Each structure stands twice: as C-alpha cells, then as structure tokens.
Structure 1
C-alpha cells in the first residue's frame, strides 16, 4: 500500500482497491476499484485526482496549457462543463484560459484529461472528435443529449466513420450497469472478481452488422470500451467481460 498526504488534508491517504464504486471527493465524479482513501474521514480520491499535476497539455488542444484548480470560479460564468464528457464541473478541474474574456476557455475533469486523441484497437483507429456526422451507437443521436451543457462533448469515431460513441454515453451506461450489479449483491467487495466483470456492455451495432461475441467487430468494441471505461473511472486495473449484441430490433 502507498501512503501519501494531501497538501491541505491533515490525515494520511492509502491507495486501496475495493470491489465497488465510489464518488470521488475531488472531482465529484464516479470511480471504481482503485482509490486513495483517508480512513479517518472516508475521504476518497481517484488516483488522477490525488496525483494531479500543476499544469498539463492535451493533444486535442495543441499549444494550450491547462492549469489545475480545486475549485474554479469565473466572474460572469454560470457554470462550467467538461469539454470531454459534457457534464458539469463540480470540483477538481484542469482549465485552459484563452480568448479576451475570462469566461472563455476549456475545462477537463482529471480523469477525462487522460483520454487519448487517437486509439488503435485491433487494427481499427478510433479518433476523438467534437463534431460528428454519424449517430452514437448507444444513444442514436449525433449531438450529445441528456446534459445541461451546451458543450458538444467528445466522441470517438472509427477511421471508417461507421462506429461512433459519445464519451458521455460510455460513462453513463457503465455507471448505470455498475449500480445495477452492485445493488443486486452479485459481487462481494472483497472478491477477486470485479463487479464490472459481470456487466454486459450492450452496444447498438449500426448498419445492421451482427456483432456477436465471437466476431472481429465484437472483440474490437469490447477492448475499446474496456479502455475508455478504465480511464473514465480512474482505475487502469479494471477488466471487463463485455458481450456485444445487436439491439436494433428494440
């Protein structure tokens, strides 16, 4: 176990791995598995939120520098949203100042800042975009829906343009399924198997392709979703047993 100390927190933190979800007390987003935990006051942090850096860069915004803030209050701003997932900023954030007005700029949750601009999965390239022409395979919409934000949010789109996932949709569908599995009591928090191993990531296979669990397409999507989920939940040790099937008939 690694013991660390948060600058403004009087107690020590241990790196723990529990087989259950939690809400990070830093960014206020969901986490799973690995977390830095204060045993005295139950304060929990994503590894990304505990090991934050003063400044970062991201390939999606070439030449821009993001500064870390525990709380971001901008005069004249009615609230901020993460430019990656489109959800509200509630706590820890990386912010890049740009433009003539203070309210201009980009924001990233600490975990979202780890999303790579390009991912190559089983020979298929998935590229981050903020403007898309195809429907998300989960919500079936081109534009991000379900948030209060005007931020378009990022999407991963395959190089061929057929396969598209909103980052927001991946995060929300997994959060819902994790909650359902945990509520049913199917996994003990001390078990070696993760609750996520029992989740079926149900994906709408666009263009009528039958993506059975043995198909090449099914394998590619399973690995892709596993990678994104691990980043968004702040736990690189997560493993998913994903089952891909076509739900176009629903």
Structure 2
C-alpha cells in the first residue's frame, strides 16, 4: 500500500493524501513522532499544513496484530491509548489488550508502531561487532548512563556482542533515535558527508570513554588485558576506526531511519564509511 503517490485511507484521514518528499522535518499526526524525507500530506484547503503521516504509518490498520518478539502474546494496533494509561506514546500504538487498564498500566505493554519494524540484529558492513535488539538493558546505556530509560522504566535497546575486543556496549532505542535526530539536524548544515560521519564518530568515542570511566554513572564491561601488559600502556578499545564505534554508528542511523521514516538517512551518514 505504501509507495503509492495517492492514498485514500479514511481510518487515517478524511481526505486523499499525497506522497511527498520534503527537506524539512515534520511531526507525524499518526504516531506523533518526528519524521524526515517522505511523508503523506493532505493538500486540500486548510489541511495543507495540518496533516502529515509517515509513509510507514500508512501501512498500519487499526486492529492489526503484532507478535511481541520477546513474549508469547500479540499486541493490537490502536489509534490512541486510553486516557488512563500513562505512557510516552501519545498517538498510534500497539497495545496488549488484557481487559484491565490498571494491569495494562502496571505492565506497560505499549509499543510505538515504528518500533515494530526495528531489526533484531544490526551489523555494520565489514565489522566483527553485532548489536542485538533486547527487551531491556542489563547495564547502563552509553548515552543516558541509566539502565532504565530516564531512570524510570525498562525499554527496548541494543546490546553489542563484544566482538572486536571492545567489551559490551548498550544503548536504549530511544537514546539512539535522539542521537540520530540531533546529528541529522546538524548534518543538514554540513556540506561534506565525511564531516558528518567524523563528527558523529568522534562524539561516540567521547561518549563511550566517558561511560567507561564512570563520567555520569555508566559502567562498561571492559576487555581483559593480555598478561604482562601494563594497564597504562593498553590502547583504548574505542577509537574512530574501532569495530564497536562503527557498529554503534550503524545502529544509531538504522534506528533513527526506521523511527523517523527516513531510509535515506542511513546512506546520507554512511555513504563514506
């Protein structure tokens, strides 16, 4: 259904929608998340600037089910959450229908629709490091330095397998998306792709080193030094060209591209790698 230049979907909007490419960011009226590049817009009268929909959000139909990859139950697609349910998702959402709102609130079985498209494994081309999707982090996120998102609740994240001798790196999906948005907006002002990539890689190196030394609270699992090698002479496992930094870069761009509905975001950042 997506990819069509025109869309008639009364469940999403009363008027016909047109698939349009734009350079400016927008806020999706379906999932309430920011987006870039391709979007469906209403060009009828006063709706021209008032309705935008991610191309990916147009795929969903209310009542569709999604199998939770970490649980045995399915989630059902809803236009909005009940007002009694407190969650960061303010628009379209996958929800576990279990009959009792207080139980739903306690268990927090709410999923942003774009998260349903996240890959289970992300591996940078030519890298020995992989990051796998997990239901919750076991160690602090390398960005926010908390195990729980906002130090409040467990959310999905990506965890590295320790390949490349760099130990384990963990990051919340939400934190990866925040990094993507911050860097994508900044990169639009940069003319050279190499500058964009190098700037983000340098930021990741500083972020990982800060987490490893406890700057802000994170504790990383570091690789064991070879016997007889003094600690002060050991090279840092996190450099601009290290496998884990490259894999983390791919993860951030992949997560951001999926959630913002901007697949060209990956190529814009990674073309020069």
Which residue of structure 1 aligns with residue 10 of structure 2? Answer: 7
Name the CA shift for 1:145/1:194 in 2 (closer, same or farther; >3 Å): farther
Distance in 2 between the 1:55 and 1:210 partners? 43
Distance in 2 between the 1:198 and 1:225 partners? 14
Equivalent residues of 1:69, 1:93 under 8 A apart: yes
Which structure would you say has the larger Rg? 2
Classify the secondary structure of the residue corresponding to 2:22.
strand
Which residue of structure 2 aligns with residue 136 of structure 1? Answer: 141
- Aligned pairs (5 A) from 1:196-207: 198=196, 200-201=199-200, 202-203=203-204, 204-206=207-209, 207=212
Name the CA shift for 1:34/1:194 in 2 (closer, same or farther; >3 Å): farther
Residue in structure 2 matching 1:20, options 20, 24, 49? 24
Aligned residue pairs, count: 220
Structure 1, gaps ≥5 residues long: 82-87, 188-192, 243-250
Distance in 1 between the 2:252 and 2:192 partners? 16
Distance in 1 between the 2:255 and 2:29 partners? 21
Residue in structure 2 matching 1:223, options 236, 250, 256? 250
Classify the secondary structure of the residue corresponding to 1:104.
helix
CA-based RMSD of the aligned residues comes to 2.9
Distance in 1 between the 2:93 and 2:192 partners? 28
Which residue of structure 1 aligns with residue 91 of structure 2? Answer: 91
Q: Normalising by structure 2, report the TM-score.
A: 0.69
Which residue of structure 2 aligns with residue 237 of structure 1? Answer: 264
Distance in 1 between the 2:102 and 2:268 partners? 39
Equivalent residues of 1:59, 1:117 under 8 A apart: no
Distance in 1 between the 2:24 and 2:81 partners? 29
Greater mean alpha carbon deviation, residues 56-65 or residues 107-116: 56-65
How far is the alpha carbon of 1:171 from its aligned partner? 1.7
How far is the alpha carbon of 1:35 from its aligned partner? 1.0
How far is the alpha carbon of 1:128 from its aligned partner? 2.3
Structure 2, gaps ≥5 residues long: 213-235
Give the structure with the higher percent helix.
Answer: 2
Higher relative contact order (CA 8 A, sep 6+): 1
Name the CA shift for 1:135/1:3 in 2 (closer, same or farther; >3 Å): same
